[in-house]
Amino acid sequence: MPLKLIPPREGRSKNWRIRGTYLGVPVDRSAGTDRRALAGQILKRLERDIERGAVTAPAPQGFAAATVEYLKACPAAEVPRVSRLLEHFGDVAFETIDNAAARDCAKAFYPDGPTTFRSPVNATINREVIGPLAAIVHLAAELGWCAYVRFKRFPEPRGRIRLDEPATIEAFLEALPVMRAPRRRRKRPDLRDREGPTRYPRAAALFLFCTGARSTEMRALPPSRTALNRNHATLVDTKNGDDRGVYLPDRLVAMMREIPIDPGDAPLFGYTRREQLIEDWAEARGKVPEAAGLTPHGARHCWAGWMRQGGADLKALMEFGGWKDAKSVMRYTAVASFEQRAAVDALAISGAPDAAAGCEKDVESDRKAG
């Protein structure tokens, strides 16, 4: 396709981009200016440079090379997903990677999907296949190794905000063990270390409910990034790549003080694999019927809903929860906020004592004015 100007994207770079393929040379670069007219001149100059051979197509690079570049800076949680993609595609040329190839890959990993309707397997495919695959190909496009490809995501179920009652969460926390030592295998006791260190499920769960941290952020937290005397912890290896400070309530601090500190600064709560957390929560849910369906990520939704009800506006929620855009927190407008409750209670028909008193004062003022 010919070279064309791509307008700036809100929240990202303010500069125009030049994207396309001209005389076989793929281009995807910043124009270096926020002025459209100047960006157009730069595009024309780039076309002339390609015509006279000053800019040539880079040496062809395959999928494996782009994967290596992506792994240098991607979050730790992405590594297993990227490794699966590399095993599937190998070092194929980028010309063979398109939406059809992505669909075939998804089918190989998840035979039940993708579906044409909203389904949980589609959400899994978008997270495990489409997201990381698009990130790798887009990085390759930025490096000039291939043309830009827009990958289609599959329809996911609409999100539902879960706000459990505090009593349900308390019962769930009680169902979690305070400490869980690695299981010793009878036939192969030498494999005990594969289970990882001792983990602390109850403290880890309370941390999720009190801070709104993602489970990956909780699992990666080392003791060195906590300051219990100041009720503070700094989340590292976050989804957005930025460290984020969180406040620790006294109850959580007291529980965290009971965890022995590893001299090697290993993860504080002892979780080394996602499956360990899933296993612990599944056992606890079996003891508390009201908590059916509750997941570690559901704890983040509970926290966000509680924060809205406690007085945090959407801007504050973005900051506290580490979201990068307003769209991510707009789902919590479905929660009756502190401001909404205050406004409704102020209505004369609400039955609130303050509202009735305020109404009587207004009537008395009108009488005096009359």
Which of the two residues, 108 and 349, has the higher pLDDT score?
A: 108
Q: How far apart are the C-alpha atoms of 4 and 1, rounded to whole Å?
A: 9
Least confident piece of the model among 53-67, 237-251, 303-317? 53-67
Model confidence at 267, pLDDT cuts 50, 70, 90, reads: very high
pLDDT tops 80 at residue 290: yes
Model confidence at 274, pLDDT cuts 50, 70, 90, reads: confident
- According to the model, what pLDDT value does residue 174 have? 97
- According to the model, what pLDDT value does residue 232 have? 97
CB of 178 closer than 8 Å to CB of 270:
no
Chain-centroid distance of CA 5 in Å reads 30
Least confident piece of the model among 143-147, 293-297, 304-308? 143-147
pLDDT tops 80 at residue 342: no
Q: How far apart are the C-alpha atoms of 285 and 268, rounded to whole Å?
A: 23
- According to the model, what pLDDT value does residue 311 have? 86
Entry pTM: 0.62
- Strands (E) across the chain are located at 4-6, 17-22, 25-30, 226-227, 232-235, 244-247
Main-chain phi, psi angles of 21, to 5 degrees? -130, 130
Model confidence at 78, pLDDT cuts 50, 70, 90, reads: confident
Q: How far apart are the C-alpha atoms of 76 and 265, rounded to whole Å?
A: 17
Which of the two residues, 123 and 241, has the higher pLDDT score?
A: 123
Which range, 75-79, 315-319, 328-332, 359-363, has the best average confidence (pLDDT)?
Answer: 315-319
User: What average pLDDT does range 40-44 have in this prediction?
Assistant: 94
Q: How far apart are the C-alpha atoms of 278 and 270, rounded to whole Å?
A: 14
Chain-centroid distance of CA 105 in Å reads 23
User: What average pLDDT does range 313-322 have in this prediction?
Assistant: 90
Model confidence at 59, pLDDT cuts 50, 70, 90, reads: low
Q: Where are the domains of the chain?
A: 4-51, 63-142, 166-182+195-335, 340-369
Model confidence at 308, pLDDT cuts 50, 70, 90, reads: confident
pLDDT tens by residue, 87-138: 999 999 999 999 999 999 999 999 998 998 989 899 999 999 999 999 999 9
- According to the model, what pLDDT value does residue 105 have? 96
Second CATH level (architecture) for the domain 166-182+195-335: Orthogonal Bundle (1.10)
| Helix/strand/coil for 162 | coil
The residues that bridge with 25 in the sheet, in sequence order, are 22
Count Cα neighbours of 245 within 13 Å in the Cβ-side half-sphere: 6
